[in-house]
Structure 1
Amino acid sequence: MTGETDEIIEGTVLRGREFEPVEGRVVVEDGEIVAVEEASVEGDAIVFPAFVNAHTHIGDSVAKEAGEGLTLDELVAPPDGLKHRLLREADRSSLVAAMARSLSYMERSGTGAFVEFREGGVDGVAAIRDALSGSNLDGVVLGRETVAAMELADGFGASGASDAEFGAERRATREAGKLFGIHAGEVDSSDINPALDLDPDFLVHMVHAERLHLERLADSETPVVVCPRSNLVTDVGLPPVEALAERTTVALGTDNVFLNSPSMFREMAYTSKLFDLSAREVLRMATVNGAEIAGLDCGVVEPGRPARLCVLDGDSDNLSGVRDPVRAVVRRAGTADVERVVLAG
């Protein structure tokens, strides 16, 4: 990982929102991309935007692979799902250390930013801020459970409209000019309309979206973050990703660390192979779409953007000989192929 502010990065650059493969160089000055130049260069690097993981629960890093065979409610439903019991039982130093390890892994595997639904109220927000200390990651932290947590954080992350109304929290978040996200349609469709009635900045999951909900999404242009690997593990079904992408902005998240590794490479590969989407669509879901939902100025390699980049070794044993670099990034590449991550700006 690096935070260098002045450098030239050469290779095949996936430029702009279409990730056009260009042989050339990215010129970085004072942490900003000032030029993407086409040129004949030596080296096999593949350069693309660092990932934006648009939905995480980093706090449960302290209990990876716990709870095999439990239902979704038994695993994560507040206040007494397994995750919440384990979080209450863990001491603060262990929680912070476990989160810091997950954040380090995310950075090494090409993630530059993430959107965290942080349990534990004010104390939970403070704990992840401590875990982020010294990290180059952009953490957009959404507090949960109380308005005070939202005020300390970058917004509010609601558990779902079937569990509570969240009207007061929504009003307070809007008045503060902060981000409001909410889980919806994960187990069934009953909480989707109540969630949409709150006029959220984005929804998470939408596994059980029906025609009416899809029409409302299109009308309101409400973005959706999908987490297909998590939905598979919790056995709730799979989101209608193609239908969602036809109607609104869709981004990718890895969800709970104790269920899945926070690897965007794995999330992209799974999504690309399961749904009828182009590699470019999936890479947008893993980069610029999440950035736009979170209000971040990253996710695209173009002049004027912060230099937040992932550089792959295109001559690794895994990537040597690839013909389509976009498809290779989405379906084939992994953390072992990461040469370095530039998180400047």
Structure 2
Amino acid sequence: MERDGAVYEGTILRGRELEPVEGRLVVGDDGRIERIEEASVDSSSIVLPAFVNAHTHIGDSIAKEAGGGLSLEELVAPPDGLKHRLLREASREALVGSMRRSLRYMLQGGTAACFDFREGGADGVRMLREAAEGLEIDAFAFGRESLEAMEAGDGFGASGANDAVFDRERTATREAGKPFAIHAGEADASDLNPALDLDPEFLIHVVHPEAIHLDRIEDRAVPVVVCPRSNLVTGVGLPPIEELTARTTVALGTDNVMLNSPSMFREMAFLSKLSDLSARQILRMATVNGAELLDLEYGVLEPGAYARILILDGGSDNLAGAIDPIRAVVRRAGVADVEAVVFEEPVD
């Protein structure tokens, strides 16, 4: 929703470190955060930056929970994996409608942006644009399969360096000033070096890095997007997230809607209980870090940032009595605890 000159009260998770402060967040008429005031307030709300889902495939919304028991290759490998067959068989109307439902669901859960790897070439990009029309979520389209898809979209999303040679697409994205991202190290380590040779803006998955890959990722400061629920469902294992976070910027994504709901709440809770990362690190992965991948002017609550805010009811039956608000957000909160989703439109 859009509000001009609004004030939001409660426990505010301020700045890049998500420091909990009691007080008020003031939004100016230009849609940007004007200031954060520390003060005693009569509100149990938890005010945090809206989520950035850094890797989705929402075209799969047409086939939720299909393919139980299939391997990763049988599920999603192009061109004949189950999801690609189902996408080819579905009507355009059904695809757009199902994607719109997933985008609406993400909005309800406080997601301000998703980075979607688009199947279907340039027309797939247009379908995402159609599905997102009139919705406040920023659905970034990483075109696939052709340069035309990249030109129509916001970047290029490569399937993996073992699937094809992407030198031409890498050059074209650089010339267009758009990001190039690529799946790498999901099933095994064999495609990590060739993926890194392409100098991507970020990698997806990195479940099986070896020492040489971790060194290259750190030396080149290549960000990584991890999707732990998807990795577990497809049986490829879990990435070494603690080591990755020690080496580079790590963001969080939910991957294929066929396999998982596009819920950042569920992704955070899952990761928090399967890793030694702190709740603050995980919440940064779901907000600040994801926004930094595309230099978005939100994803953090600080003066000057666009006001894209998620407000949780800290007095709900689920969250009341929580001692640590960050742990409560990461490990416990859900859509039922959402009090408001505030996406101010920038006015420059």
- Does the TM-score normalized on the shorter chain lie above 0.5? yes
Give 1:3 deviation, angstroms. Answer: 2.1
Aligned residue number for residue 184 of structure 1: 184
Give 1:212 deviation, angstroms. Answer: 0.7
Give 1:281 deviation, angstroms. Answer: 0.6
Asked whether the equivalents of residues 140 and 294 of structure 1 are also in contact (C-alpha less than 8 Å), the reply is no
Give the counterpart letter for 1:294 in structure 2. L
Alignment root-mean-square deviation, CA: 0.7
Q: How does 1:60-79 map to 2 (within 5 A)?
A: 60-79=60-79
Question: Quick one: distance in 1 between partners of 2:203 and 2:191?
Answer: 11
Aligned residue number for residue 11 of structure 1: 10
Aligned residue number for residue 126 of structure 1: 126
Give the counterpart letter for 2:5 in structure 1. D
Secondary structure of 2:186's counterpart equals coil
Q: Does 1:89 align with 2:75?
A: no
Aligned residue number for residue 308 of structure 2: 308
Which 4+ stretches in 1 moved above 3 angstroms? none
Secondary structure of 2:112's counterpart equals strand
Asked whether the equivalents of residues 53 and 111 of structure 1 are also in contact (C-alpha less than 8 Å), the reply is yes
Aligned residue number for residue 38 of structure 2: 38
Structure 1 unaligned spans of 5+:
none
Give the counterpart letter for 1:80 in structure 2. D
TM (norm. structure 2) is 0.98
Asked whether the equivalents of residues 5 and 32 of structure 1 are also in contact (C-alpha less than 8 Å), the reply is no
Q: Deviation per CA, 1:65-123, whole angstroms, max 9, x where unpaired? A: 00001100110001111111111111011111100000000000010111110110011
Give the counterpart letter for 2:38 in structure 1. E
Q: Does 1:203 align with 2:199?
A: no
Question: Quick one: distance in 1 between partners of 2:43 and 2:291?
Answer: 29
Give the counterpart letter for 2:11 in structure 1. T
Question: Quick one: distance in 2 between partners of 1:4 and 1:84?
Answer: 41
- Between 1:34-43 and 1:192-201, the stretch displaced more is 34-43
Q: Does 1:324 align with 2:310?
A: no
Asked whether the equivalents of residues 254 and 263 of structure 1 are also in contact (C-alpha less than 8 Å), the reply is yes
Give 1:158 deviation, angstroms. Answer: 0.1
Give the counterpart letter for 2:343 in structure 1. L
Give the counterpart letter for 2:234 in structure 1. T
Aligned residue number for residue 54 of structure 1: 54
Asked whether the equivalents of residues 115 and 294 of structure 1 are also in contact (C-alpha less than 8 Å), the reply is no
Give the counterpart letter for 2:297 in structure 1. D
Aligned residue number for residue 173 of structure 2: 173
Asked whether the equivalents of residues 3 and 136 of structure 1 are also in contact (C-alpha less than 8 Å), the reply is no
Give the counterpart letter for 1:299 in structure 2. G
Secondary structure of 2:35's counterpart equals strand
Aligned residue number for residue 107 of structure 1: 107
Q: Deviation per CA, 1:130-153, whole angstroms, max 9, x where unpaired? A: 001001011221000000000000
Aligned residue number for residue 216 of structure 1: 216
Give 1:294 deviation, angstroms. Answer: 2.0
Give the counterpart letter for 2:73 in structure 1. D
Give 1:5 deviation, angstroms. Answer: 2.9
Give 1:6 deviation, angstroms. Answer: 2.4
Question: Quick one: distance in 2 between partners of 1:187 and 1:171?
Answer: 26
TM (norm. structure 1) is 0.99
Question: Quick one: distance in 1 between partners of 2:35 and 2:153?
Answer: 34
Q: Deviation per CA, 1:8-28, whole angstroms, max 9, x where unpaired? A: 111100000111111111111
Q: How many residues align?
A: 344
Give the counterpart letter for 1:215 in structure 2. D
